Amino acid sequence: MRKTILALSAICMAAPAFADQSFRGQVKDIYKDVTTEIPRYEEVCRHVKVPIYRDKEVVRKGNAGEGALLGMIVGGVLGKVITNDDKGAAAGAIIGGVAGADNANEKVIERQIIDYEYEKKCETITKYDRKITKKYSHSEITFYHDGNKHTLEFIK
C-alpha cells in the first residue's frame, strides 16, 4: 500500500513536467468470489422396527441340596442361641433346611419379545446450500511511461 501511495504521489508531482505528453492508462476493479454456506433444515422420517414385549413369570431352579444345607446350619445355630437347648437347635435345623430348600427355586420376571411393530421416527438434519458472490477486492491502474508498463494497486 505504501508503494502505491508513493507511486501515485510521484505521478501527480511529475504531471506538470509532462503536461505536453499524453498518458494512456486504464483502471480496473478486481473482484473475488466469496463462498457462503447457508444452512437449510430438513425433516427426515423413517419407519423403525420396534419390539413388543410381554412379561412372564419364570421359576428358576436352584440347587435345593445347597439351600437345605445352608438353611440347616443357620437354623440350628439360631435355634441353639434362642432356646439354649439342643432340641431347639434340632428344631431350628429342620425348619432352616425346609426353608433353604424352598428358597433354592427363585421366581423371576422375564421379558419376552412377542411381536414387532413399526414406528415413524423423525429427525431434523442440516444441509448447506452454497452461494457464490463477487466482492470488491481492490483496483489496479495500468499506464505506460517511457515505453514501460506500470501497474499500481489501490483501494477505492
How confident is the model over 17-35, as pLDDT tens digits? Answer: 555 556 678 999 999 999 9
3-state SS assignment for residue 87: helix
Written as nine digits, the cell of 79 is 435355634
The C-alpha atoms of residue 73 and residue 70 are separated, in whole angstroms, by 5
Of 132, 135, 109, 104, nearest to 29 by C-alpha is: 135
**Residue 68 in grid coordinates:** 437345605
Q: What is the pLDDT along the chain (156 residues), one digit of tens a residue?
A: 545 454 555 555 555 555 555 667 899 999 999 999 999 999 999 999 999 999 888 776 666 666 666 777 877 777 777 888 777 777 777 777 677 666 666 777 888 999 999 999 999 999 999 999 999 999 999 988 888 899 999 998
Whole-model pTM above 0.85? no
For the chain, helix (H) and strand (E) counts, in that order, are 3, 3
pLDDT at position 79:
72
